[in-house]
């Protein structure tokens, strides 16, 4: 993804050219206004100053990277960046003029006016240009897509997008992973790197797969809002799936069901546990997970799983050993044993970590209502 970012920056050469054109136009306006008030002026001296201004502007643009992430900037960020850029340029130009003993025969006010017009013009032109580029990319279908998911759901998320002929330009994993590439797509677990890639690649939509929406990093949703990038959640709660099951001709052989991690379910199984010797009427659970994805199944008996996403509750009955329930993080769950001796088996994507549980319902509701930094890895 780093290479992609480095080369992607060249796409923004148009912003540099537009900036320089704004600077020249601002100087023309300043000179025209200045000439109205002053009778004699040495234009040759002023040309030299404009050339210096352009050189200083380029140097400042490159050295302080003032066009960095230009597409993702909101209005206030744009103002601040431009103020910083002009502040540096003005200081550098003044130092240059002083050192070269240039520009004595025209008013310093002209330079100040030129910078003021440059400030206004550049903000205006940049905003319009951003808008045009984004609209054109969308219209031509060159706007890219991005996928945000977890290590466990990356392949399934990519496959799901493929069904709609969408090939994302990159994948952001919520949790650190040792993979750099998944199915030829560059992968990052670094939020800033991903935001930069979303920006440089003209991404117009970030798809979220297998992550509770409220676990989406605050800086990602803020950046997407500023860049007019849509966030679409494709799958983030639960699914009842059929488990592969073999039936035998001899009835007494029973049934054999099986699950393979990352083949039948989208995550590698890091942990399995099962609850036995239970009484009917037992209630367990009362927690949500921050990252842990699970497959729940009931090989014997009948258990109700009550799921709560903070807004509504759904009850699913597990009473068939050939069915499993794929559960995403971010769902409050309660299990009710309907028959004595019912067995609940769980395959989990994460090792046991008590920190990864949310056991307080109010904390759970807060995590659903607010995008909370501390809930994200």
CB of 269 to ligand TYD, least distance (A): 12
Beta strand 144-149 with 170-173: parallel, antiparallel or unpaired?
parallel
Contact residue for ligand TYD among 9, 175, 271, 338 (CB under 6 A)? 271
- Spatial CA neighbour of 305 closest among 280, 335, 284, 330: 335
Kindly state whether residue 274 participates in binding ligand TYD, applying the rule CB under 6 A.
no
The answer to whether the CB of 113 falls within 8 A of the CB of 170 is no
Q: How far is residue 332's CA from residue 329's CA, in Å, rounded to a whole number?
A: 9
- Please indicate whether residue 85 is annotated as part of the active site: no
> How many residues at the interface with ligand TYD, by CB under 6 A?
6
Stretch that binds ligand TYD, among 109-117, 231-239, 262-270, 280-288 (CB under 6 A): 280-288
- Minimum CB separation of residue 306 from ligand TYD in Å reads 13
Task: Compute the distance between CA of residue 348 and CA of residue 364 in angstroms, rounded to an integer.
Answer: 20
Distance, CA of 93 to CA of 55 (rounded, Å): 9
In angstroms, what is the minimal distance from the CB of 359 to ligand TYD? 8
Nearest to ligand TYD of 175, 271 (CB atom)? 271
Determine contact, residues 201/225, Cβ cutoff 8 Å: no
Nearer to ligand TYD, 1 or 347 (CB): 347
Q: How far is the CB of 344 from ligand TYD (least distance, A)?
A: 9
Half-sphere exposure (Cβ direction) of 101: Cα atoms closer than 13 Å? 0
Is position 287 an interface residue for ligand TYD (rule: CB under 6 A)? yes
Q: Given the complex with ligand TYD, which of 285 and 299 has the nearer CB atom?
A: 285
85, 217, 283, 287: the catalytic one is 287
Distance CA 309, CA 307 (A): 7
Q: How far apart are CA 329 and CA 154, in angstroms?
A: 15
Binding status of residue 273 toward ligand TYD by CB under 6 A: yes
Residues serving a catalytic function are 287
Residues found near ligand TYD in the complex (CB under 6 A): 271, 273, 284-285, 287, 352
């Amino acid at each position: 993804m780093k290479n992609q970012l480095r080369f992607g920056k060249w796409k923004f050469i148009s912003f540099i050219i537009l900036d320089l054109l704004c600077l020249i136009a601002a100087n023309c306006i300043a000179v025209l206004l200045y000439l109205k008030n002053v009778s004699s002026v040495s234009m040759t001296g002023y040309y030299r100053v404009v050339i210096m201004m352009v050189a200083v502007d380029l140097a400042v643009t490159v050295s302080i990277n003032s066009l960095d992430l230009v597409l993702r900037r909101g209005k206030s960020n744009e103002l601040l960046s431009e103020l910083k850029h002009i502040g540096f340029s003005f200081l550098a130009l003044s130092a240059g003029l002083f050192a070269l003993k240039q520009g004595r025969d025209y008013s310093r006010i002209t330079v100040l006016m030129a910078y003021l017009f440059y400030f206004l013009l550049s903000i205006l032109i940049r905003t319009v240009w951003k808008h045009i580029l984004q609209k054109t990319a969308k219209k031509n279908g060159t706007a890219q897509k991005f996928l945000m998911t977890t290590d466990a759901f990356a392949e399934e998320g990519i496959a799901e997008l493929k069904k709609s002929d969408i090939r994302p330009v990159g994948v952001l994993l919520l949790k650190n992973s040792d993979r750099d590439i998944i199915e030829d797509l560059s992968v990052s677990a670094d939020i800033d790197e991903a935001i930069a890639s979303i920006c440089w690649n003209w991404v117009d939509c970030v798809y979220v797969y297998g992550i509770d929406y409220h676990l989406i990093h605050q800086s990602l949703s803020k950046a997407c809002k500023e860049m007019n990038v849509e966030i679409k959640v494709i799958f983030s709660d639960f699914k009842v799936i059929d488990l592969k099951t073999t039936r035998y001709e001899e009835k007494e052989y029973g049934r054999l069901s099986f699950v393979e991690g990352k083949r039948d379910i989208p995550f590698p199984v890091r942990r399995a546990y099962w609850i036995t010797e239970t009484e009917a009427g037992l209630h367990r659970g009362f927690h949500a997970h921050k990252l842990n994805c699970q497959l729940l199944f009931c090989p014997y008996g009948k258990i109700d799983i009550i799921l709560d996403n903070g807004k509504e509750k759904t009850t699913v009955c597990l009473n068939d050993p050939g069915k499993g329930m794929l559960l995403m993080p971010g769902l409050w769950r309660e299990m009710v044993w309907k028959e004595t001796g019912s067995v609940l088996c769980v395959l989990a994507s994460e090792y046991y970590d008590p920190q990864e549980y949310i056991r307080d319902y109010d904390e759970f509701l807060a995590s659903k209502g607010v995008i909370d930094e501390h809930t994200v890895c």
